[in-house]
Amino acid sequence: MGMGPLENAAAVEVPVVTAAAAGGGSYALLQCGEDSAYVRDAYGGYFEVFRALLAEDGERWRVYRAVRGELPSDEEVAGIDGFVISGSCSDAHGDEPWILALVDLIRRQLAAGKRVLGVCFGHQILCRALGGKTGRSCKGWDIGVSCIHPTAAAARLFAPLKMPVHLPIIEFHQDEVWELPAHAEVLARSDKTGVEMFRLGDRAMGVQGHPEYSKDILMSIADRLLRQNLLLDCQVDVAKASFDVRQPDKEFW
């Protein structure tokens, strides 16, 4: 699994360890939201969406439905090299039992030298587990294709790849990272969100946006929330129009 970018406390020391042995590693998606009917029918579920984005030849992948309280046992985690934490409709700053269990798992696995990549909710819960703070954005929903701006730290990390000044990515969130964990560094910002990407050491990385999303996935969620009166017509219209202005940079992600 490439640790490069990708759909919901006490600090943890993250050790530097060697990469998984050649021949393909073993990775797990910690799925923090249920599959929508649309994604299940069109793509086979979010697990398949993430695998299409991240999986490389020879790797072994499996999914744990963290939102249902399904987490790997101690015996299972011993054979897993890294974890991807998905998005969620839940709040990363919440205290539901499954969220607290997930925070505990993240801390233990990072302390053991496992690699962890968080996406949207996963980005925020990773920050929380490492000792940072998350909460509601004072700027409200960010939905559609947004431009994030890589920092000098990102340029150093991805060298010799030349980083673009503006990097389009699909967003769908109303929460954000308020305060980074100690020693973490910001890799990207945007006009609406101060921490679009961060990393701590070479084991932990968070991405606020959804590199795994496509326009149809985002619009299916937006339309559902609109029907539930959780979004306004104008918010959905802005999200749809954003794809006419810019397209997510799939080559980078």
As beta bridge partners, residue 168 has 147
Q: Is the pLDDT at 2 greater than 80, yes or no?
A: no
Can you tell me whether residue 22 is helix, strand or coil? coil
> Of 32, 48, 171, 210, which one is the catalytic site residue?
210
| Structure confidence by residue, pLDDT tens digits, 10-30 | 333 333 333 344 458 999 999
Helix residue spans in 44-151 (DSSP H): 46-54, 74-77, 97-111, 121-129
Query: Check: CATH 3.40.50.2000 for 26-245?
Result: no
Residue 89 annotated as catalytic: no
pLDDT for residue 24: 83
Place of tokens 């149809």: 216
Which residues does 223 contact at the CB level (< 8 Å), separation at least 6? 236
Higher pLDDT residue, 160 or 96? 96
Confidence of residue 246 (pLDDT cuts 50, 70, 90): confident
| Structure confidence by residue, pLDDT tens digits, 124-159 | 999 999 999 999 999 999 999 999 999 999 999 988
Helix axes 233-245, 215-227, angle to 10 degrees: 170
Q: What's the whole-number mean pLDDT along residues 224-232?
A: 93
Q: What's the whole-number mean pLDDT along residues 207-221?
A: 96
Q: Is the pLDDT at 68 greater than 60, yes or no?
A: yes
Number of residues in the chain: 253
pLDDT for residue 194: 96
pLDDT for residue 6: 31
Residue 56 annotated as catalytic: no
d(CA 40, CA 77): 27
As beta bridge partners, residue 198 has 186, 206
Confidence of residue 215 (pLDDT cuts 50, 70, 90): very high
pLDDT for residue 20: 40
Q: Is the pLDDT at 252 greater than 90, yes or no?
A: no
Residue 212 annotated as catalytic: yes
At residue 215, φ and ψ (nearest 5 deg) are -60, -40
pLDDT for residue 161: 84
| Structure confidence by residue, pLDDT tens digits, 37-63 | 999 999 999 999 999 999 999 999 999
Using the CB atoms, write b or e for 184-194: b if 16+ within 10 Å: bbbbbbbebbe
> Of 7, 176, 196, 212, which one is the catalytic site residue?
212
- Domain positions in the chain: 26-245
> Of 120, 123, 127, 147, which one is the catalytic site residue?
120
Can you tell me whether residue 218 is helix, strand or coil? helix
Place of tokens 């490492």: 130
Whether 201 and 127 have beta carbons less than 8 Å apart is answered as no
Q: Give the tokens for residue 136.
A: 């509601």
Confidence of residue 1 (pLDDT cuts 50, 70, 90): low
